[in-house]
């Protein structure tokens, strides 16, 4: 799609090579080409609008699909207006159509933003279920001990595996303490987890769960399973989070079902509108071609 408008604008109206020998027929030919050029340009703009609307619909539908996913953070979309091909490609020395270029180059999706707002907390009463009230993330590791394996999550559904490690219930990833080591919990009653993440078995201190935050959350990339992959720069600048740990609670999805439903419906209507414009411009192009053929 990016090359379509560029090719349309590369056509130079009024080129003598396009005009037939007969002057009157040539004027009609030229006018028909101008109309076809404008319609073709509008088709590309409508197509870009349909593509961005379809993408937005997919994003908001995915938010709705994760309405019951613990610790899920919704995505938010933004649309930008593309510059004309000559401006975008730095080819301002080439001829172009000033009237059409004022329309821009269509729609373009900006990078998604993740909404890190607090989700509601549900009381489960399970001793290994944890939620963060406020800012911060739990820290897990996918494999190995290198920094690239560090992942952050708000999903606090934890459990104790066969080796006694505190791990995520969904994927079995080890939960890390403040020294980036795995946490081992012995058998026995009286498990207590304080607001700062400190784990006690009775009166015995076991470890302190790491709850961290980063300066720039735009440096966190979603990986699925409510995990975020931080960049090396984000990890270097991480700091102790201000949020508190709540034992026996889990954080619900941050998706607002009503807003997500309205955004999905709105994107679907915009897609249908752009498809109707494409069909209309296709009919106009067909009429221009038929007129062009008769005059030729």
Note the pLDDT of residue 90. Answer: 72
SS3 category, 5: helix
- Encode 56-69 in three state secondary structure: HHHHHHHHHHCCCC
Taking only the tens place, the pLDDT of each residue in 270-283 is 999 999 988 988 88
Note the pLDDT of residue 25. Answer: 45
Note the pLDDT of residue 81. Answer: 80
> What is the sign of the dihedral through the CA atoms of 277, 282, 286 and 289?
positive
What residue ranges do the domains of the chain occupy? 3-115+256-295, 121-251
Q: Within 13 Å, how many C-alpha atoms sit on residue 187's CB side? A: 2
Note the pLDDT of residue 282. Answer: 82
Low-confidence ranges of the chain (pLDDT < 70): 1-39, 85-86, 88-89, 91-92, 94, 96-101, 103, 292-296
SS3 category, 253: coil
Note the pLDDT of residue 167. Answer: 96
Q: How far apart are CA 270 and CA 57, in angstroms?
A: 10
Q: How far apart are CA 189 and CA 184, in angstroms?
A: 15
Q: How far apart are CA 145 and CA 161, in angstroms?
A: 19
pTM of the complete model:
0.77
Taking only the tens place, the pLDDT of each residue in 184-233 is 999 888 899 999 999 999 899 999 999 999 999 999 999 989 999 999 99
Q: How far apart are CA 215 and CA 136, in angstroms?
A: 11
181 closest CA partner among 153, 140, 212: 140
């Amino acid at each position: 799609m990016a090359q379509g408008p560029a090719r349309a604008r590369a056509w130079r109206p009024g080129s003598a090579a396009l005009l037939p020998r007969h002057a009157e027929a040539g004027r009609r030919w030229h006018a028909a080409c101008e109309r076809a050029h404008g319609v073709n340009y509008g088709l590309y703009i409508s197509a870009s609008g349909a593509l961005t609307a379809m993408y937005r619909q997919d994003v908001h539908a995915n938010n709705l699909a994760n309405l019951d996913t613990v610790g899920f953070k919704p995505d938010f979309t933004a649309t930008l207006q593309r510059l004309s091909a000559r401006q975008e490609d730095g080819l301002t020395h080439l001829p172009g159509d000033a009237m059409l270029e004022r329309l821009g180059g269509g729609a373009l999706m900006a990078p998604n933003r993740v909404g890190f707002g607090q989700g509601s907390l549900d009381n489960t009463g399970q001793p290994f279920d944890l939620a963060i009230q406020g800012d911060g993330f739990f820290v897990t590791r996918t494999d190995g001990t290198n920094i690239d394996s560090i992942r952050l999550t708000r999903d606090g559904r934890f459990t104790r595996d066969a080796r006694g490690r505190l791990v995520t219930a969904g994927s079995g990833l080890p939960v890390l303490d403040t020294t980036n080591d795995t946490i081992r919990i012995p058998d026995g009653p009286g498990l207590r987890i304080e607001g700062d993440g400190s784990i006690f078995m009775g009166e015995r201190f076991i470890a302190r769960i790491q709850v961290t935050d980063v300066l720039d959350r735009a440096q966190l990339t979603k990986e699925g399973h409510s995990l975020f992959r931080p960049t090396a720069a984000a990890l270097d600048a991480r700091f102790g989070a201000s949020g508190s740990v709540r034992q026996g609670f889990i954080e619900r999805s941050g998706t607002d079902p009503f807003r997500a439903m309205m955004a999905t419906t709105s994107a679907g209507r915009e897609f249908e509108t752009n498809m109707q414009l494409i069909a209309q411009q296709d009919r106009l192009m067909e009429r221009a071609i038929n007129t062009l053929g008769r005059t030729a």
